[in-house]
A and B are shown apart, each in its own frame.
Chain A
């Protein structure tokens, strides 16, 4: 047994987190910043932070993850990190020549109280920021929220620093895609293109964290949202913020700064999630839904009806990030599956919990839900009330193996498989991939457990 000390006996805990289902803000901010073209993310803290974040993102994407650090020493922790950051800005622009440096803070610099805009203006006044280049920042204290909060804060910073109010409104739609994979961002762009809708998506990590092998290393890959595009987000006709926790802050900031109306949607995961997204695009722009998307929707419907018997009544344990959990739960319910245990480490708030409860209100069993929970509790729930399928990040592998439960890797981080950066799970096509994954997991198990007598050829 891998997690042999985990028993069915649940004891109330108020102070100890065991096997977390979240990580800290700065990594989300780093990920978001990588979605700006020509951007070098910068961690204002000890060098351990950026080393850990770069390592985690690299293990997840199997791609270069470039970022820098202020490398605090004991001295800077006492006297503040101004000298370190000014020097870092000078070094980064001199040696690595980014278009923009996106500074995020850490628990260390937040506890000290470093004022990043003040330090950045000092650097600029000292001639350390070349003409036409930018330093932006987000406050991302690690002791508040989770990695999703960090993503949200850095995405909002893109609005705060770049979006320009005024000017003629265009027919462009802003899309804040949420804390999703590069493949998902690519798929969202494809859907919008199929509808003939010009968009500005930010951040956009497609083409950054799923890049090609060519024999030439590019410090700044071809992907990412351009600064000019970010500036124009203020003129767009509207914003669709996908995923309330990750995206609404940026969407609402655009609304208040530039009067661009924002609609917050679930992540377009599953049939109804995608329906809502496409319908929102349609109503916002007046564009028709093309036959090609209707065809994909029909294919997804087809699979669900063809294979309904394998979904029906299957109990699922889910652990992951709030926006994904909500959309995924609705998706599973639409398949007549039974989400049974739902855990996120992120403190996602009462509104989120109410929405999640609403999503499972017709599920024919008691559903365990915990916000700010951990995988130890999740595992204990699974032990007490076994499920047919668990969905979660790579750490869920240990639970799935111990309990011998079919398992789908989903969320962050996935350290032990590829695919997530290339194959989307959003949209109808992404939905088809999710259906295939769910079916494979369940049907492989049926095959494995089949006896010599009841093995099925056709399923």
Chain B
């Protein structure tokens, strides 16, 4: 008996001196019992065993009505996230005005149109059919058709995409039929996305629909093989705050040719040509892995997971690329670039580390950022106490090894899975199976992602689809030095007296990717966790109220 009890105590991993299990129970206590049972599976105390196994976390499950969380909708994931950053497609939102309005320039995707011959850039524009009650009753297909015509007449784009919002699905407008008709009439690429907001359980469904749509309608449309060595695509990098520009800078220095980025600083022409590259790199695994999988099946180019958030992570990712291409010239160049960039990183870290070391962070964002940004905090000597995704799946938490065990529920089953087979003429394995085997033996993992939890400490709190209530409890319990999430969470956190960093919009700063980005991030976080303002929360008379009693002259 005694030995079991001791084992229990030894088994308890404290988090920042506190019992995470107890805090979890405190969070759940305030929920109705049924809700508490559901949330209990989405709040997991991490435990990494010697074989890198981690506990199961319930994720990509329905949002609980009324709890106040972070998630957005399918449309936001499709139009806002994946297709939004492409500058030369006219994206028409088919629906009432709001959806188009809110996704108008708000994600900070930067683009450089000067690199395209035609210079097209429609990103500062918002296009909508502004559906009215008349169309809800009688159907909106005619208006959509006319809107596509007007977009063409006014702007002469080379492609138009149509995005369905909630009511479109309900009233049964066939946006794909209208798109096909207009494609034939206008002679440009016109394609639709059935990304009604109610589909799936989060933005994630929209990512999948966007991936399918680009794959069906664009990838492979142009077989021109571009000049350049070491050709690759960067998937799941959206150029927020200029991240993609920094990665492009590094690639150029290394002599790596970037065929396309999905979809930061991108042109539809690059997508059409993407299948001619020899390797796919995946940054945001959640939002884009489908395209990588489909390209591998159809065209034969493999994918590897990379991370350009963090200086060490960037160096590691560059080395993976060099390893893949097996060219001593590239390896040498990559090492030279890393060696050239690192002194500045070291200098920056030396300056900031004394003021960041030991500070504690929490991050709840996206489907990969909550993982990637831990790299940067680690470099600064900071610890991530708690993290979670808004719309991640189990594979993003626990690694792709759990893929066969994931139960497909009704909400996911409604999202189309494309049947892909090798392209008869264009399928070309980039490496022989012997070559792949050798690379894998040498440690290069293909089609692999180990997820966030394996890299986090035992005892950390992993929370999927964090609610406002849980965020408040976390902040009150741990008083972290910094909390990272999105715009909706930002000011509530700061009212608590805790600095809050937006990891979607970067608080309008950045870039944070690559080497330059790492230094930007170090400096921003150092500034935030040491800002003087948090020391002024109490007025002098609140700090020393007894002084008031000393000035009683009447006695």
Partner of A56, one of B97, B102, B153: B102
Interchain CA distance A74-B197 in the complex, whole Å: 9
Is A90 an interface residue when CB atoms closer than 8 A count as contact? yes
How many Å lie between the Cα of A73 and that of B62 in the bound state?
Answer: 8
Bound together, the chains give a CA A55 to CA B411 distance in angstroms of: 25
Q: How many whole Å from A87's CB to the nearest CB in chain B? A: 5
Q: How far is the CA of A196 from the CA of B105 in the complex (A)?
A: 46
Interface residue? A18 (CB, 8 A): yes
B170 and A143 contact, CB distance less than 8 A? no
Q: Which of B71, B92, B197, B494 makes the CB contact (< 8 A) with A213?
A: B494
Residue-wise interface mask of B (117-155) relative to A, using a CB-CB cutoff of 8 A (1 in contact, 0 not): 001111011111111110110000001111101110111
A19 at the interface (CB under 8 A from B): yes
Docked complex Cα distance between A143 and B73 (Å): 19
Q: Which residues of B contact A47 (CB under 8 A)?
A: 63, 69, 71-73, 197, 202
Contact (Cβ within 8 A) B101 A20? yes
Known contacts A15-B147, A95-B31; A4/B167 CB under 8 A: no
Closest Cβ–Cβ distance, residue B173 to chain A (whole Å): 12
Determine the residue in chain A with the shortest Cβ distance to B103. Answer: A52
B residues in contact with A143, CB < 8 Å: 96, 131-133, 135-136, 167
Contact residue among A26, A51, A95, A111 (Cβ-Cβ distance under 8 Å from B488): A51
Segment touching B, from A64-72, A172-180, A354-362, A446-454? A64-72
Contact between A107 and B127 (Cβ–Cβ < 8 Å)? no
Q: Is B100 in the interface zone, CB < 8 Å from A?
A: yes
B100 x A51 contact (CB < 8 A): no
- Pick from A17, A46, A54: contact of B97, CB below 8 A: A17
Chain A residues near B184 (CB, 8 Å)?
Answer: none
Interface contact A11-B154, CB-CB below 8 Å: yes
Q: Tell me if A17 and B129 are in contact (CB < 8 A).
A: yes
B121 touches A4 (CB 8 A): yes
Residue of A16, A59, A216 most packed against chain B (CB within 10 A): A16
Complex CA distance for A16 and B150, rounded to whole angstroms? 6
B420 at the interface (CB under 8 A from A): no
Cross-chain contact A95 with B125 (CB below 8 angstroms): no
The residues in B between 149 and 168 inclusive whose CB is less than 8 angstroms from any CB of A are 149-151, 153-155, 165-167
> Is B491 in the interface zone, CB < 8 Å from A?
yes
Closest A residue to B413 by beta carbon equals A74
Chain A 190-217 interface residues, beta-carbon cutoff 8 Å to B: 211, 213-217
**Beta-carbon contacts of A4-35 to B below 8 Å, as 1s and 0s?**
11000001011111111011101100000000
Pairwise interchain contact B491-A94, C-beta atoms closer than 8 A: no
- Find out whether the CB atom of A217 lies under 8 angstroms from the CB atom of B492: yes
Identify which of A3, A46, A87, A108 contacts B124 (C-beta below 8 A). A3
Contact indicator B68/A67 (Cβ below 8 Å): yes
CA A419 to CA B67, docked complex, whole Å: 32
Q: Are B146 and A16 in contact, with the CB atoms below 8 A?
A: yes
Given contacts A48-B73, A71-B62, contact A217 B495 (CB under 8 A): yes
Q: How far is the CA of A196 from the CA of B363 in the complex (A)?
A: 51
Quick one: closest B residue to A415, CB to CB?
B106
Chain A interface extent, by class: 35 or more
CB contact between B76 and one of A15, A52, A85 (< 8 Å): that residue: A52
**Are A11 and B153 in contact, CB atoms less than 8 angstroms apart?**
yes
Question: Chain B nearest CB: distance from A153 CB in Å?
Answer: 14
- Which of A5, A13, A64 has a CB less than 8 Å from the CB of B492? A64
Q: Are A66 and B102 in contact (CB under 8 A)?
A: no
Which B residues between 169 and 187 are near A, CB-CB below 8 angstroms?
Answer: 169-171
Q: Roughly how many angstroms separate A376 CA and B30 CA in the complex, as a whole number?
A: 50
Determine whether the beta carbon of A4 is less than 8 Å from that of B119: yes
In this complex, what residue of B is CB-closest to A77? B198
Docked-complex contact B106 and A55, CB < 8 angstroms: yes
CB 8 Å contact bits of A139-162 with B (1 = contact, 0 = none): 001111010000000000000000
Instruction: Say whether A2 faces chain B, with CB atoms less than 8 Å apart.
Output: yes
**Interchain CB contact under 8 A, B66 and A48:** no
Bound-complex Cα distance A4 to B102 (A):
22
Whether B97 lies near A142 (C-beta < 8 A) is yes
- A94 touching B31 by the CB < 8 A rule? yes
- Bound: A357/B332 CA distance, A: 72
Alpha-carbon distance A378/B414, docked complex (angstroms): 42
Assess whether A74 is in contact with B198, with CB atoms less than 8 Å apart. Answer: yes
Alpha-carbon distance between A248 and B183 when the two chains are bound, in angstroms: 47
Is A351 engaged at the interface, CB distance under 8 Å to the other chain? no
Which of the listed residues A74, A215, A218, A395 has the most CB atoms from chain B within 10 Å of its own CB? A74
- Is the Cβ of A51 less than 8 Å from the Cβ of B73? yes
Q: When chains A and B are docked, how far (Å) is the Cα of A49 from the Cα of B65?
A: 13
Interface flags for B281-305 (1: CB within 8 Å of A; 0: not) read 0000000000000000000000000
* Whole-angstrom CA separation of A89 from B64 in the bound complex: 11
Nearest B-chain residue to A211, judged by Cβ: B495
Q: Would you give the shortest CB distance from B541 to chain A, in whole angstroms?
A: 14
Using Cβ atoms and an 8 Å threshold, which residues of chain A touch B149?
Answer: 15
B77-110 contact mask (Cβ, 8 Å, vs A): 1 or 0: 0000000000000001001111111111110000
Chain A CB within 8 A of B468 CB: yes
Judged by a CB distance under 8 angstroms, whether B435 is at the interface is no
Contacting residues, chain A, for B72 (C-beta < 8 A) = 47-48, 51-52
- Asked if B342 is at the interface (CB within 8 A of a chain A CB), the reply is no
Task: Answer whether residue A345 sits at the interface, using C-beta atoms and an 8 A cutoff.
Answer: yes
**Minimum C-beta distance from B114 to chain A (A):** 11
Closest-CB distance, B208 to chain A (whole angstroms): 14
Any chain A CB within 8 A of the CB of B369?
no
Q: Which residue of B lies closest to A142 (CB)?
A: B96
Q: Is the CB of B414 within 8 A of A77?
A: no
Contact present for B198 and A73 (CB under 8 Å): yes
- A5 / chain B contacts, CB cutoff of 8 Å: 120-122, 125, 154-155
CB–CB A59/B487 < 8 A: yes
Interface flags, A337-373, vs B, CB<8A=1, else 0: 0000000010000000000000000000000000000
Q: Is B17 an interface residue (CB 8 A)?
A: no
Residue A84, interface by CB 8 Å: yes
B538 contacts the other chain (Cβ, under 8 Å)?
yes
Point out the residues of chain B lying under 8 angstroms from A88, CB to CB.
65-66
B389, chain A: closest CB distance, angstroms: 15
The minimal Cβ–Cβ distance linking B378 to chain A, given in whole angstroms, is: 29
Chain A residues with Cβ under 8 A from B104's Cβ?
19-20, 395
Instruction: Decide if B199 touches A58 in the complex (CB within 8 Å).
Output: no
Query: With A and B bound together, what is the CA distance between A31 and B145 in angstroms?
Result: 34
Please give the distance in Å from A121's CB to the nearest CB on chain B: 17
B343 within 8 A of A: no
Of all chain A residues, the one with the shortest Cβ separation from B126 is A19
Look across to chain B and name the residue whose beta carbon is closest to the beta carbon of A90. B32
CB distance from B43 to the nearest CB of A (A): 15
Contact A94 B30 (CB under 8 A): yes
> What residues of B have a CB within 8 angstroms of the CB of A431 in the complex?
none
A307 interface residue (CB < 8 Å to B): no
CA distance A217 to B133 in the complex (A): 40
B201 proximal to A (CB < 8 A): yes
* Interfacial residues of chain A within 106-159, with CB under 8 A of chain B in the complex: 106-108, 111-112, 141-144, 146
Taking CB as reference atom, which chain B residue is nearest A63? B491
Complex: chain B residue closest to A108, CB-CB: B166
- Given known contacts A96-B469, A111-B167, A13 and B150 CB-to-CB distance under 8 angstroms: yes
Chain B positions within 8 Å of A42 at CB level: 66
Chain B 485-502, CB within 8 Å of chain A: the 1/0 string?
A: 011101111111100000
A15, B98: Cβ atoms under 8 Å? no
How near does chain B come to A410, taking the closest CB pair, in angstroms? Answer: 18
Q: Collect the chain A residues with CB atoms within 8 Å of residue B96's CB.
A: 24, 107, 141-143
Q: Which residues of chain B are within 8 angstroms of A74 by Cβ–Cβ distance?
A: 198-200, 410-411, 414
Top-3 shortest CB links A-B: A48-B73, A24-B98, A88-B66
A17-B130, A73-B201, A107-B136 given; name 6 further pairs at CB < 8 Å.
A16-B128, A23-B98, A51-B488, A91-B64, A91-B67, A143-B132
> Can you show 26 pairs from A to B with CB atoms below 8 A apart?
A3-B125, A5-B121, A5-B155, A13-B154, A15-B146, A16-B154, A22-B101, A45-B166, A46-B166, A46-B196, A52-B103, A53-B102, A64-B495, A66-B492, A71-B63, A73-B198, A77-B169, A77-B196, A88-B66, A94-B32, A95-B31, A107-B95, A141-B96, A142-B96, A143-B131, A211-B495
